[in-house]
A = this chain, B = another copy of it.
């Protein structure tokens, strides 16, 4: 590290993570109670103050290209969206509607590869929240996709 004299690291507030208002079992019930998540085979595998982690096994109907047989981008987009959503749900005790999202695709997930999606809060506000997520290959932690979304936190 190097820098000009007198201009060091910015005075970032020590981050006090927002406390969770739901425990592991309650959040897990929300994750697995959604019909599309059941079809995807999702399970919550970790919840702490900083992150939620969701596991997705592989299934043949997720395949995009019939010859190369990689997992469809729409499946990866769903993982980014929902992992970011549950990172907010852990702080609010309820899921929130997605306003918009962005996904970057880094590497293909191939046949038989289970994935882990890790969601993290960026900013929690009374009207809106922003959260991000990374999708990793379970076997070696390689980054498959990542992204972020904006969610409506205001109860209507």
A26 to chain B, nearest CB (A): 11
Residue of B at shortest CB range from A23? B2
Question: Which residues between 121 and 149 of chain A lie within 8 Å of chain B, taking CB atoms?
Answer: 122-123, 125, 127-128, 130, 136, 138-143, 146-148
Contact among B34, B73, B138 for A10, CB-based, below 8 A: B138
How many copies of this chain sit in the oligomeric assembly? 4
Contacts of A140 in B (CB 8 A): 11, 13
Interface membership of A63, Cβ < 8 A: yes
**Residue from A74, A78, A122 whose CB has the most chain B CB atoms within 10 Å:** A74
Number of interface residues of A (CB under 8 A): 74
Main secondary structure of the interface of A (DSSP, over half): mixed
Q: Which residues of A are at the interface with B, using a C-beta cutoff of 8 A? A: 1-4, 7-13, 23-24, 33-36, 38-39, 43, 45-48, 53, 55, 60-66, 72-75, 77-79, 81-82, 95, 97-106, 116, 118, 122-123, 125, 127-128, 130, 136, 138-143, 146-148, 150, 152, 154
